[in-house]
Structures are given as C-alpha cells and as structure tokens.
Amino acid sequence: MRISASFTVSDIQKFKERLLLWAQQFEEIVWLDSNGHTGKYNSFDALLAVDALTTIKTDSDKAFDKLREFQEQAKDYIFGYLSYDLKNDIERLSSKNNDGLGFSDLFFFQPKKIIKITGNTVYFEYLLMVDDEVQSDFELISNETKIEEEAVTENIKIKLRVFKDEYFRQVRKMLSHIHRGDIYEANFCQEFYAEDTQINPFKTYQKLNKISEAPFASYLRVYDRYLLSASPERYLRKDGPKLISQPIKGTAKRAENAEEDERLIEALKNDPKERAENIMIVDLVRNDLSKSALKGSVGVEELCEVYTFEQVHQMISTVVAHVAVDVNPVDVIRQSFPMGSMTGAPKVSAMKIIEELEAFKRGLYSGAVGYFTPEGNFDFNVVIRSILYNATQKYVSYSVGGAITAKAIPEKEYEECLLKAKAMREVLEG
C-alpha cells in the first residue's frame, strides 16, 4: 500500500539536480530522466526509486522464473535491470569472456520511496512504513543538499580491450560468417576501460547527461556498482495491452553549421546501408513481439525516422503490438530479450558468433534498465552510451558497437564506434 502526495515546484531543473543528489545516501537507486523529450509514449519527465524493502539478485540460471515469482509476489512497483547475459537463461548459450565489472545478471528491488516529476509537479509515492517522511524529504530536497566529495582519479587513462588491427580482423571474421550465410547481421561491440580508477558517479553522470540529454537516460546504483547512462533507445514498453519497441540502427555525426547538419540528416535518411540495417532489425523485433502478441496485431508505426540528439543523429523505427489482458509481463520480456538492435539476425546464431568474436563479457551493457508497475505494465531502455563503474574494484568501463552487414567496411565501422564513444571519453578524460 502506498500513499501519494504532490507538490508544485517553481524551478524544476534545480529540484531534479537536488533530488538525485539527495538520493546518493541510498544503496539502491534507479533514476530515469527523459531530459525534456516529449515522445508520444512518454509518461513522466523523471522518475526516482530508492531504498529497497525487498530485492532479487541472481545469475542467469532460471532468472526469468525467479523474476516472475518476485514480480507476482510484490504486487507493487519494482525497479532494476536485466543484463545481456540473461540470453543464457533463454537459449543454450554461455558467457565466458573477460568481466571486469562483476554485475549480477539480474537485480530488482521494491522501493520504499518513489518520486515522479511531470511538468512542475512532484509526486511522492511512499510505502506506508515511511509515509511520515514525505514532508521532511520534500523540504530536505528543496534546500541545498551537500554530499561528501569522493576521491577521484586525475588523468584517467582509457585502455582498449582490442586494438584497431584486432578489431578489423574480428569484423572480417564476422563478414565471412555473413557471406557464408550463417547470419545476415550482427552487432559487434568493443570495450574501453580504466583500471585502478576512482570516479564520482553523481558528478560523472551529471557531465554525461549534460552533453547528451538523451531521452532514456538513467542512473543506477546497486551497492558498489553504478550505471551512468545517456541512452537514446527504448527497448520495450507495455502500456495496458499495447507493446512499443523503438530500435535504433543508423548513426550520423552532428555538424555545428545548421545547413551542414541538415545535409547529414538527409544523407542518413537516404543511406541504403543504414536503412537496410534498420529494416532487418525491425523484422527481427516484429518476429520477437509476435511470440507474445495477439495474432495480426504486430505493426510498424514509424520506419527509419531520423531523430536528432546532442551528439548524433539516429535512425529509429517504432514497432507496436497488442497482447492478451492476462499475459504475464515477465514472459513478454523473456520472449523478446535481448533486444534485436544489440544482437542480430538470425538472433541465436548471431549471439553465438558475438560471444566467439568479442573480447569482453557484456553484462549490463546492452541489457536494459527500467521498472514494472503494480498493474503489470513496464518500460525499459537499452543500456548503450553508458559508463559502468565498480567502486570496490576501481574499474571503469564503457562499450560501443555497430551492426555488421554484408556491405560493412571495417574502417567505417571503427569510425562509427569512436563517434559513439566520444561523449563517454570526453566525460572521463576531460
């Protein structure tokens, strides 16, 4: 049982900053920020969940069964993440690559405190056991909040998990699989990392968010592990009987000159390679959603639309479907996970080849962060354009990738990776 209270705030931007600062006292945090993007399927400007009453933390073994049980028992909001390596629960796959971060494969918690921002109104939804703290928390957040400065590493040295020549070799191997007909497309990723490095997660996220202003930004803390994400991509949303997936495939750089920027948008819109990549993934997503959708309900609302963000232009499609009223929300995710944009086609073959050719365990990268509602709705992003941090191990990581198709040129794919990595590198190296 939750109580609700609302307050009107004049300077909402300042309140948002103080709210996330106030949240740093808790060991379990999920912060979701749309950064002013007003998409058709947005339901809030920002959402914070903190302070676990109950939790579930597991490896991939029977993970979705355990999550389903936890979600059904909670009958409440639960927030958390799904790592890419839950693929091993769905298919006969494994993850044996190097893992410097050590996130569990799945983590969710039932928060005692949820705070939602819509326009200039702030809604507090607290469990009854903490409902007497609403007023004092609002006052505390509204006033200047100070947190202790954390030790940080100066002059962070970013290392490459694979060097350029090795990247080219692995892409050529991927291409040989494509030319042989094993797969049509696969998302190939590489990791950049720093060891013996301490960052201030709150300030690092602020910097990343400021230069990216992404519509599916998230800040996650699970004890000593952090995700600082400037994700532009929605994985999957369930709103009543409707499912919405918005895969991204196709990236172009921004230009300072407006005329040149417009030219880059048009070039992306009409690029046959980028459109082919996007359409392949749309077909994959349609197939994934059809596993749980009502017959004949899967459709495409937008195909290859170009959206502009602070750092890049992106080609996005919107795939929708309808499900039966009594469908279990965890089962819907199980039948479409991991998301098509981060795997390939055919999906299982692509994931096997990805595991062979990549040099790191993806973990939370290319997984999803989000929440379930008491009514069985949910919304999850795709964990890309993100910095991951293990504070105990002093290990910082960010990964980037791109779709490899028959027409891929290794040098151009590498350039696209560096473009996607630009914001994370700037934030860490200064």
Share above pLDDT 90 across residues of the chain, in percent, rounded to a whole number: 95
Is the confidence at residue 67, as pLDDT, over 70? Answer: yes
pLDDT of 38: 86
Question: In Å, what is the CA distance from 22 to each residue of 19, 130, 183, 311?
Answer: 5, 16, 48, 29
8 Å CB contact between 249 and 341: yes
Is the confidence at residue 145, as pLDDT, over 70? Answer: no
Q: Please give the Cα distance from 393 to 100 (Å, whole number).
A: 8
8 Å CB contact between 389 and 152: no
Question: Would you call 347 a catalytic residue per the annotation?
Answer: no
Q: Assign domain 2-429 one CATH number from 3.60.120.10, 3.30.70.360, 3.40.50.620, 3.40.630.190.
A: 3.60.120.10
Share above pLDDT 70 across residues of the chain, in percent, rounded to a whole number: 99
Inter-helix orientation angle 164-180/347-357, to 10°: 150
| pLDDT tens string 101-130 | 999 999 999 999 999 999 999 999 999 999
Question: Would you call 249 a catalytic residue per the annotation?
Answer: yes
The per-residue pLDDT of the chain, averaged, comes to 96
| pLDDT tens string 254-271 | 999 999 999 999 999 999
pLDDT of 179: 97
Beta-carbon contacts of 424 under 8 Å, excluding residues fewer than 6 positions away, are 192, 208, 385, 386, 387, 398
Q: What is the mean pLDDT of residues 297-320?
A: 96
Q: Which of 214, 229, 282 has the alpha carbon at shortest distance from 81?
A: 229
Q: How confident is the model at residue 283 (pLDDT cuts 50, 70, 90)?
A: very high
pLDDT of 396: 98
pLDDT of 154: 87
| pLDDT tens string 324-379 | 999 999 999 999 999 999 999 999 999 999 999 999 999 999 999 999 999 999 99
Say how far residue 320 (Cα) sits from the centre of its chain. 19
Residue at token pair 């096997």 = 352
Rg, the chain, Cα only: 21
Q: How confident is the model at residue 24 (pLDDT cuts 50, 70, 90)?
A: very high
Q: What is the mean pLDDT of residues 383-409?
A: 96
Which is the catalytic residue, given 249, 347, 352, 420?
249
Q: What is the mean pLDDT of residues 276-304?
A: 96
pLDDT of 17: 94
Surface-to-core class of residue 335, CB atoms within 10 Å of its CB (0-12 exposed, 13-18 middle, 19+ buried): middle
Inter-helix orientation angle 12-23/201-212, to 10°: 150
Is the confidence at residue 94, as pLDDT, over 80? Answer: yes
Is the confidence at residue 320, as pLDDT, over 70? Answer: yes
Which is the catalytic residue, given 213, 233, 355, 416?
233
| pLDDT tens string 146-202 | 766 778 998 899 999 999 999 999 999 999 999 999 999 999 999 999 999 999 999
8 Å CB contact between 223 and 101: no
Q: Please give the Cα distance from 215 to 236 (Å, whole number).
A: 14
Strand 28-33 to strand 216-222: parallel, antiparallel, or no bridges (unpaired)? Answer: antiparallel
Residue with the larger pLDDT of the pair 147 and 51: 51
Helix (H, G, I), strand (E, B) or coil at 281: helix
Surface-to-core class of residue 133, CB atoms within 10 Å of its CB (0-12 exposed, 13-18 middle, 19+ buried): middle
The structure's pTM equals: 0.96
